[in-house]
Amino acid sequence: MDCSKRFILIFTLIFPVVFNIDCIARNSSTGAVQAITSVDQFNTIIENSGNQLIAFHLYADWCMPCRVLEPLLVEIAQENQNKIVIYKVDTDALPQIAEAFGVTGIPFVVFIKNKKAIYAMMGVQPKETYIRIIETYADTTSHEEKKPDEKKIKGLKVIKYRRHPNITDLVM
């Protein structure tokens, strides 16, 4: 088989998969995951979140794992809208937010409660992992603040942000 036929064969086999993931990611923005468009908006959300569990999905349009993760986060946001609010932050448009969290790779999801980063994950994780974190930290019936204990939850270690105790001090 010559080179051009091989290219056409590979292109016809792989292109539909890539195109389908791209369409899923673009069509998944149903409002369940809200886009952050400025640092001021980010700061306002943090300031007004109170005891509400919120999460930020740090992504880039060119990142294929980010595109795979987005529909999953939309689904999680829709199913758990009384427990968590999920936002997405384009790291190309707002690199200062990624720098504030010390992000070294994307996709990166950080969970925040009471203006503090309580849990963070890099990469695409199974849906159950996100749900477990939400169920652990979204309890708003208790007035006690749940603190990360650095225990492993299904192999993932809780990350404590010792450098930045208050998220709003990060990006101003």
Where is pLDDT greater, at 38 or 162? 38
Strand order in the sheet with 84-90: 33-36, 84-90, 53-59, 108-113, 116-122
CA triple 105-126-143, angle to 5 deg? 90
Report the distance separating Cα 130 and Cα 110, nearest Å. Answer: 11
pLDDT of 5 strictly over 80? no
Q: Which of 40-44, 56-60, 121-125, 144-148 has the lowest mean pLDDT?
A: 144-148
Per residue in 118-167, pLDDT tens?
A: 999 999 999 999 999 999 998 655 444 445 555 544 444 444 444 444 45
pTM of model > 0.85: no
pLDDT of 19 strictly over 50? no
Per residue in 86-128, pLDDT tens?
A: 999 999 999 999 999 999 999 999 999 999 999 999 999 999 9
Q: What is the mean pLDDT of residues 17-21?
A: 46
Could you give the domains of the chain?
3-169 (3.40.30.10)
